[in-house]
Amino acid sequence: MVKVEIVESNSPYGSEAASSRNSSSSSLSSVSSELEQDESIIDRLAALVDIVPPTTRHAISQRVSKTASWLKWGGKRAGSFVWIVTTSALLVALPLALVLEDEAKIVAQEREFLEQQQGQQQMLAPSMYPPNQNQPKGLVPPGF
């Protein structure tokens, strides 16, 4: 079995090949560690674009574009519908609700007024029992 070992010499007269070999490996390790830390999922997916054939990419792009345009059209129509409904409610239903509330207040006031009149009539009405049961029927009490 063969064992390969790299011997580094600290001699100032060392070969340039050995020093360039060591410097390039150290620079590659630093670059790979930087890429691993800074690379995101979006970057990885963007790098995978070349794997998908151009015809498939074009078909996917068209479908996404059509879907986005349909969603935009539907959003505009839904917004218009909501605008029409809320405007109609403000112009028709709100005044109607205010009129109905005023009418209910008037009906409550009339009912209270009628109850007050009935209460006054009951207080002024003659009692069911005559004031003096011993008086003869044909005589009129004094003061009338």
Residue 18 makes CB contacts below 8 A (sequence gap 6+) with 8, 9
Residue with the bigger pLDDT between 41 and 1: it is 41
pLDDT attached to residue 104: 96
Neighbours of 127 (CB within 10 A): 6
Neighbours of 22 (CB within 10 A): 13
Q: How many helices (H) and strands (E) does the chain have?
A: 4, 0
Report yes or no: 22 and 8 within 8 Å, Cβ to Cβ. yes
Average of per-residue pLDDT across 35-43: 75
CA 54/CA 39 separation, integer angstroms: 25
Alpha helices in 6-53 (DSSP H): 16-38, 41-47
The tokens of 24 are what? 């390039």
pLDDT tens digit sequence for 71-90: 999 999 999 999 999 999 99
Average of per-residue pLDDT across 109-121: 91
Highest mean pLDDT among 10-19, 48-57, 93-102, 125-134: 93-102
All structural domains of the chain with their residue ranges: 16-93
Its pTM stands at 0.40
CA 98/CA 107 separation, integer angstroms: 14
pLDDT attached to residue 99: 95
Residue closest to 96 by CA, chosen among 107, 88, 84, 85: 88
**Reported confidence tier of residue 26, pLDDT bands at 50, 70, 90:** low
Average of per-residue pLDDT across 33-37: 56
Average of per-residue pLDDT across 60-67: 96
- What sign results for the dihedral spanned by CA atoms 45, 47, 50, 54? positive
